[in-house]
Amino acid sequence: MTDISIRKDGKAGRITLTRPKALNAMTYEMCIAIEDAVDAWADDDTVELIIIDAEGDKAFCAGGDIAALYETGTKGDYEYARRFWRDEYRLNAKISEYPKPYVAFMQGFVMGGGVGISCHGHPRIVCESSQIAMPECGIGLVPDVGGTYLLARAPGRLGEYLGTTGTRMNAGDAIHAGFADHFIPQEKWADLIAQLSETGDLFLIDQVSATPPEGTVSAQAAEIDTHFSGDTLSDIVASLKSSDSEFAAATLKALSRGSPLSMACTVEMLHRLEGPGTDIRQALDLEYRFTHRAMEHGDFLEGIRAAVIDKDRSPKWQHDLDAPPQEAADAMLTPLGADALTFQKEG
């Protein structure tokens, strides 16, 4: 497969995304190839760690390749996308629960599906160019691939802010929010990867880890906590509208671009996951309740049309931000019964 390179190198299992012209967007075939590799290496004593990286400077992985989802969904075929999400979420869970170190090198854009194949592993390495985000509400989806699990554990109300606005995090923000562990200048990556492959010694990462650049999002923590502490999206919007600060104005503008249904669901999902004892499988189950219904009942197809197909950036959402749809959000998140996510490989 020309989109991905999977091989052994010394003591490492190596996964490299190799479609930089497409910002290493992840196809269904790439997802399955990664899962097959991590399955094979889990019990392989010659593999002490996995290293995942990507070619090109612009992106580690800018998300999933959603063109095929749109093509099938607009024809009334919702099952292709549902299978994609089921298989992708199963991979995300495996990475989070993996019995060996899963080292991710994340340069440039790391968004959506790119977060799912990197930020659940440990240790996670970022650099000067890293820009990590969960921008799914802007296309009528919700932060998925286990993103809600990470967002729900971010300090204060940072998760609600990042999940609804899709704001990008630099390396400092990503470490602060729990999406990354180490800042290492990219010029040192090639030598570090070679040494890790040869020795399997994770202490090498600590030796070259540096102080990250100051986060821009984390500096706004007080205002984020003030305005995003409400129980619902409606509460958040009301709080922002009551303020005349530059932050409130900028944040309302960001929220105006997203699907009100998706943002209302995101807030509800994070609140359900913030309690003690939740795990990534609970987060993925909740995410799948939404994505299973996203084409038929949500704004997903319209969001892709406006952002990717027609590129008019003028989606016609079902609901209005001035009246966030809490009842509709609750309906999107009801249990799926027999269609619930099982994490089992299908024959």
**Token code pair at residue 264:** 């209302």
Q: What residues are paired with 104 via a beta bridge?
A: 52, 124
DSSP secondary structure code for residue 49 in this structure: E
Upstream peptide bond of 123 is cis (omega within 30 degrees of 0): yes
> Taking a C-beta distance cutoff of 8 angstroms, is the pair 43, 94 a contact?
no
**Token code pair at residue 221:** 């923590």
CA angle 329, 331, 334 (to 5 degrees): 115
> Taking a C-beta distance cutoff of 8 angstroms, is the pair 192, 204 a contact?
yes
> Taking a C-beta distance cutoff of 8 angstroms, is the pair 144, 117 a contact?
no
| CA atoms of 199 and 193, how far apart (whole Å) | 10
**So which residues are the catalytic ones?**
64, 113, 136, 144
Sequence-separated (6 or more) residues with CB below 8 Å from residue 189: 53, 105, 107, 125, 127
Kind and range of the H or E run holding 7: strand 4-9
Q: What residues are paired with 53 via a beta bridge?
A: 16
| CA atoms of 131 and 169, how far apart (whole Å) | 5
Q: Which of these, 303, 233, 218, 298, lies nearest to 269 by C-alpha position?
A: 233
> Taking a C-beta distance cutoff of 8 angstroms, is the pair 299, 261 a contact?
yes
Sequence-separated (6 or more) residues with CB below 8 Å from residue 43: none
